[in-house]
């Protein structure tokens, strides 16, 4: 089996990492959570804030946050007794880079404007 890799200055992204990340996002609640965190940016949200905004029960939210964290799509920081979840922007950008790195390389006509 050939392992497709996206080379980044910081590390290689392996296809199994891509599959894990995409699988984590292939669920409606996790996708909504991730998109909400991306909108919020590095400041992040506490689980209570996320649950309130997305109307997700605490146990369900905890499960989804754990899956997103396992897939390296989100990170958590502690401030006192509060946990703040935020997007892992470097991983997100590596994932996007992996998906688009060879955009149009086999095209008969130039299509770089569509690959932006």
Render pLDDT for 63-113 as a digit per residue (tens, 0 to 9): 999 999 999 999 999 999 999 999 999 999 999 988 888 888 888 787 767
How much is the average pLDDT of 54-68?
97
Compute φ and ψ for 79, nearest 5 degrees: -125, 105
How much is the average pLDDT of 28-57?
97
pTM recorded for the entire structure: 0.84
Residues 6+ apart with CB under 8 A from 61: 33, 47, 50, 51, 54
Length reported for the chain: 116
How much is the average pLDDT of 23-34?
98
The pLDDT confidence band at residue 42, using thresholds 50, 70 and 90, is very high
pLDDT at 12: 67
The pLDDT confidence band at residue 5, using thresholds 50, 70 and 90, is very low
pLDDT at 14: 86
The pLDDT confidence band at residue 29, using thresholds 50, 70 and 90, is very high
């Amino acid at each position: 089996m050939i392992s497709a890799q996206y080379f980044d200055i910081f590390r290689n992204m392996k296809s199994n990492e891509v599959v894990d990340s995409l699988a984590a996002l292939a669920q409606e609640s996790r996708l909504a959570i991730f998109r909400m965190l991306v909108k919020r940016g590095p400041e992040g949200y506490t689980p209570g804030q996320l649950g309130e905004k997305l109307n997700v029960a605490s146990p369900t939210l905890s499960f989804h946050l754990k899956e997103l964290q396992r897939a390296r799509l989100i990170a958590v920081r502690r401030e006192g007794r509060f946990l703040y979840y935020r997007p892992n922007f470097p991983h997100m950008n590596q994932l996007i880079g992996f998906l688009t790195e060879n955009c149009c390389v086999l095209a008969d006509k130039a299509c770089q404007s569509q690959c932006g």
